[in-house]
Amino acid sequence: MVYAKKVKTTDPRFGSRNIEIRSGDYNKTIPVPNSCVLCNACNRNIYPNAGYLIYLGKRELDKDQPYDFYCRNCTKEYFPKAKEV
């Protein structure tokens, strides 16, 4: 069963993030602003609205290991049978 957990994009879990690029001798860290929270499907910036963390099973939900983050419309389109928790 797939689970969807509604969270605010202002939640601390979306703060102080970095993207790390590594290839051979090349290492680069790019800070991601706290006001940039993208939907994994449509790539729209959802901030400051709420979105959904998607969990692909009960084990992932219990360990808080989401698959990814989606806006409301994409959650309904791509995970129509997800159980909201």
pLDDT tens readout for residues 37-48: 999 999 999 999
pLDDT at 19 exceeding the cut of 90: no
pLDDT tens readout for residues 51-76: 999 999 999 999 999 999 999 999 99
Is residue 53 a contact partner of residue 46, using CB atoms and an 8 Å limit?
Answer: no
Would you state the pLDDT for residue 22? Answer: 85
What 3-state class would DSSP assign to 52?
A: strand
For tokens 């419309």, the residue is 73
Residue ranges of domains in the chain: 3-84
pLDDT tens readout for residues 23-39: 888 888 888 899 999 99
How far CA 43 is from CA of 16, 37, 57, in Å, comes to 20, 9, 24
